[in-house]
Structure 1
Amino acid sequence: MRFTIVIEPGNEKHAFGVVVPDLPGCFSAGDTLDEAIDNAKEAIELWLEETIDSGGAIPEPRTIAEHQSNPEYSGWIWAIVTIDLSELSDKVERVNITLPARVLRRIDAAAKAAGESRSGFIARRTLQENVHLG
């Protein structure tokens, strides 16, 4: 998915500020233009993960042309960041892991107490730990 980013020009004293107009509250910065773009990609990925994890919907991105009429961004630099949404997929995959028996017993007991399957318990606890894999 392609997201428009708007970059406030920086200089030797000020970082390049980045706004993602299609994702409310998603912003970033970088000391160089390249760093600003790289950091914007990470900010978008984190914003999308948080939205998915909280059950929110991902807005359909608008085109640069649709955003350029906004006078708030006059004189800013426009760019596109592409995000591979397959990395954020909730498609279920079977995995094989090896754990010590005592750890597995603790997981199973906690899952049972929570009324969950082992897999559901592990997935929920991992998300609660706010693990960012990537």
Structure 2
Amino acid sequence: MKYPVQVLPVHEENSYLLSVVDLPGCQVKAPSIDEGFLLLNDAMSAHLKILVEYGEPIPKAKTIDEHMKLSTTIAPIWALLDFDIVPYLGKSHKINVTLPELLIKQIDDRVTKSSHYKTRSGFIAAACVNELAR
């Protein structure tokens, strides 16, 4: 899922504050934006693990446009962080799914050509998450 990230310079400290606005409290401070995104991946992972532990739903990501309409911050920098939430959706269960042969071939081709997807099941799970988020 692509989560909007608000990046604010902290001039007094010569650093940046990166916040995943759809996950209240999920933010990091870093000396550079690049380092901030590395730290933010770990922060999001920890944040989502806590939500899952307490049985809370994973918040749906809003668009940057939606956040810009609500933001009172003057001239923030906006970015998108593509974060795989599938591992935080709970225990996996095996199901029997029937799909057309050509569709299975297209899925398998995409999985083998992309480092983003490790398995056919992962691809299908990501597609389902994206469709449900619409």
By the TM > 0.5 criterion, same fold? yes
Across the two proteins, how many residue pairs are aligned to each other? 93
Question: In the alignment, which residue of structure 2 is the partner of 1:106?
Answer: none
Give 5+ residue unaligned stretches, structure 2. Answer: 94-134
Per the alignment, do residues 86 and 75 of structure 1 end up closer, same or farther by CA in structure 2, a change over 3 Å counting? Answer: same
Contact 1:6 / 1:73 at 8 angstroms: preserved in 2?
no
The 10-residue stretch of structure 1 (65-74 or 33-42) with the greater mean CA deviation from structure 2: 65-74
Question: In the alignment, which residue of structure 2 is the partner of 1:50?
Answer: 50
Per the alignment, do residues 88 and 72 of structure 1 end up closer, same or farther by CA in structure 2, a change over 3 Å counting? Answer: same
Pairwise CA RMSD: 2.0
Question: In the alignment, which residue of structure 2 is the partner of 1:102?
Answer: none
What percent of counterpart residues are identical?
Answer: 27
Residue 12 of structure 1: how far off its partner (Å): 8.6
Contact 2:28 / 2:39 at 8 angstroms: preserved in 1?
yes
1:44-98 CA-partner distances (Å, limit 9, x unpaired): 12111100111111111100000012343321110111111223243258xxxxx
Q: Does 1:17 align with 2:17?
A: yes
Amino acid paired to 1:27? Q
Question: In the alignment, which residue of structure 1 is the partner of 2:87?
Answer: 87
Equivalent residues in 2 for 1:1-134, closer than 5 Å: 1-10=1-10, 13-92=13-92
Give 5+ residue unaligned stretches, structure 1. Answer: 94-134
Question: 2:56 aligns to what SS in structure 1?
Answer: coil
- Answer with 1 or 2: which has the greater Rg: 1
Contact 2:28 / 2:43 at 8 angstroms: preserved in 1?
yes
Question: 1:90 aligns to what SS in structure 2?
Answer: coil
